[in-house]
């Protein structure tokens, strides 16, 4: 939905502005030697228990807890099926980036003790999340975000092929070239090599496609309007063939990623809850 796109864009812009403010306002303090920080006029505000520092921690920790809503929405049968999974994932990603950023400023870039285990677990979760997002996009899904079966993907591919063949009279050779472009440079010798070649192919594919589109446009007599539609359908077909070319490998890596990602997320949350509990019991409080 467009409304969610606008909301996410607004949140991203606001997050960028906040990050810029935090860096410019506290740069002099954060770059000071630890022993000299108490002498800074910003120490009372930016230290972990200070007005800003504590606030960063509360907001950042709240964002990390809100991350769990995506997992609940995806797995819990009792949870209302509101919104598309892809939309929930986008909010999950935003919280998974902004939360660690705020927690990092909460620590004032000083890490130690058992809390450091939670912090570095959080960073592993955040960076592995980028890998997970990449793998997620390589698995064919419906508009609602649910994974499609192999039969459903093949049916979608057949519909696109029939459109190119019957509506726009594309030659079989051209259709075959489109399908080949989707599978080109995919190495199937091993899982890791397949995934790496998949990633490298994604990087250089825009240049390859531009050459193909330019050649097709020059050699065909289709109208500008039809060309735009053909180009859109061709992109969809290429995307399907790319995903099918490495589907089994992507599934396996996605499983390995879950096995790696989840334990660090649990460690992060467990120690974070302990840290918050201890802080509250020792009487530390923010503005309320």
For residues 15 and 56, membership in a common domain is answered with yes
Whether the pLDDT of residue 218 is over 70: the answer is yes
For residues 158 and 136, membership in a common domain is answered with no
Residue 252 is assigned to a structural domain of this protein? no
For residues 138 and 157, membership in a common domain is answered with no
For residues 163 and 129, membership in a common domain is answered with no
Class of residue 124 by CB neighbours under 10 A (exposed 0-12, middle 13-18, buried 19+): middle
pLDDT class of 164 with cuts at 50, 70, 90 = confident
For residues 66 and 121, membership in a common domain is answered with yes
pLDDT computed for residue 111 by the predictor: 85
pLDDT computed for residue 288 by the predictor: 62
Q: Compute the average pLDDT of residues 49-70.
A: 94
Contact yes or no for 275/115 (Cβ under 8 A): yes
- Kindly state the percentage of the chain with pLDDT values over 90: 39
Q: Hey, is 112 helix, strand or coil?
A: coil
Q: Hey, is 286 helix, strand or coil?
A: coil
Q: Compute the average pLDDT of residues 55-61.
A: 95
Residue with tokens 């003790």, as numbered in its chain: 113
Q: Compute the average pLDDT of residues 272-277.
A: 91
Distance CA 55, CA 57 (A): 5
pLDDT computed for residue 156 by the predictor: 85
Q: Compute the average pLDDT of residues 264-274.
A: 92
Contact yes or no for 148/208 (Cβ under 8 A): no
pLDDT class of 29 with cuts at 50, 70, 90 = very high
* More confident position, 85 or 202: 85
Class of residue 7 by CB neighbours under 10 A (exposed 0-12, middle 13-18, buried 19+): middle
For residues 34 and 59, membership in a common domain is answered with yes
pLDDT computed for residue 186 by the predictor: 55
Residue 119 is assigned to a structural domain of this protein? yes
Contact yes or no for 179/241 (Cβ under 8 A): yes
Q: Hey, is 209 helix, strand or coil?
A: helix
Q: pLDDT tens digits, residue range 104-158?
A: 999 999 988 888 999 999 999 999 999 888 888 888 776 556 677 778 888 888 8
pLDDT computed for residue 188 by the predictor: 54
Residue 165 is assigned to a structural domain of this protein? yes
CA distances (Å), origin 19, targets 23, 51, 105: 6, 17, 10
Residue-range definition of the domain harbouring residue 276: 2-144+261-281
Residue with tokens 């539609």, as numbered in its chain: 229
Residue 186 is assigned to a structural domain of this protein? yes
For residues 14 and 45, membership in a common domain is answered with yes
Class of residue 275 by CB neighbours under 10 A (exposed 0-12, middle 13-18, buried 19+): middle
Name the percent of the chain in helix, strand, coil, to the closest 5: 80, 0, 20
Q: pLDDT tens digits, residue range 185-194?
A: 555 555 667 6
For residues 273 and 136, membership in a common domain is answered with yes
pLDDT computed for residue 55 by the predictor: 95
Residue 251 is assigned to a structural domain of this protein? no
pTM: 0.78
- CB-based contacts of 4, cutoff 8 Å, min separation 6: 83, 87, 90
pLDDT computed for residue 93 by the predictor: 93
For residues 115 and 158, membership in a common domain is answered with no
For residues 17 and 139, membership in a common domain is answered with yes
User: Nearest CA to 222 among 168, 173, 176, 179?
Assistant: 168
For residues 196 and 165, membership in a common domain is answered with yes
Whether the pLDDT of residue 209 is over 70: the answer is yes
Domain count, the chain: 2
Contact yes or no for 94/11 (Cβ under 8 A): yes
pLDDT computed for residue 236 by the predictor: 83
Whether the pLDDT of residue 19 is over 80: the answer is yes
Residue 26 is assigned to a structural domain of this protein? yes
Phi-psi region of 109 (alpha: psi -120 to 50; beta: other; left: phi over 0): left
Mean pLDDT over each residue of the chain, to the nearest integer: 85
* More confident position, 120 or 283: 120
Whether the pLDDT of residue 103 is over 90: the answer is yes
Distance CA 44, CA 63 (A): 24
Distance CA 224, CA 226 (A): 6
Residue 239 is assigned to a structural domain of this protein? yes
For the chain, strand residue ranges (E) read: none
For residues 128 and 33, membership in a common domain is answered with yes
């Amino acid at each position: 939905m467009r409304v969610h796109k606008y909301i996410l864009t607004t949140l991203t812009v606001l997050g960028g502005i906040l990050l810029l403010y935090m860096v410019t306002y506290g740069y002099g303090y954060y770059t000071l030697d630890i022993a000299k920080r108490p002498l800074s006029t910003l120490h009372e505000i930016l230290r972990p228990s200070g007005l800003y520092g504590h606030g960063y921690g509360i907001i950042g920790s709240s964002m990390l807890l809100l991350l769990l809503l995506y997992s609940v929405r995806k797995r819990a049968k009792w949870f209302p099926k509101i919104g598309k999974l892809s939309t929930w994932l986008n909010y999950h990603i935003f919280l998974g980036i902004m939360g660690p950023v705020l927690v990092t400023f909460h620590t004032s870039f000083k890490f130690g003790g058992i809390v450091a285990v939670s912090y570095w677990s959080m960073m592993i979760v955040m960076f592995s999340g980028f890998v997970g997002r990449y793998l997620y996009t390589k698995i064919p899904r419906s508009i609602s975000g649910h994974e499609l079966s192999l039969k459903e993907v093949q049916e979608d591919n057949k519909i696109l092929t029939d459109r190119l063949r019957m509506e726009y009279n594309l030659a079989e050779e051209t259709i075959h070239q489109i399908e080949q472009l989707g599978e080109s440079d995919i190495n199937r010798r091993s899982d890791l090599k397949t995934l790496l070649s998949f990633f490298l192919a994604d990087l250089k594919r825009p240049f390859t496609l531009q050459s193909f589109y330019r050649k097709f446009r020059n050699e065909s007599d289709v109208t500008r309007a039809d060309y735009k539609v053909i180009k859109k359908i061709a992109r969809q077909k290429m995307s399907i063939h790319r995903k099918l070319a490495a589907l089994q490998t992507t599934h396996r890596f996605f499983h390995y990623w879950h096995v790696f990602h989840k334990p660090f997320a649990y460690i992060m949350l467990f120690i974070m809850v302990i840290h918050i509990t201890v802080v509250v019991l020792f009487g530390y409080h923010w503005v309320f």
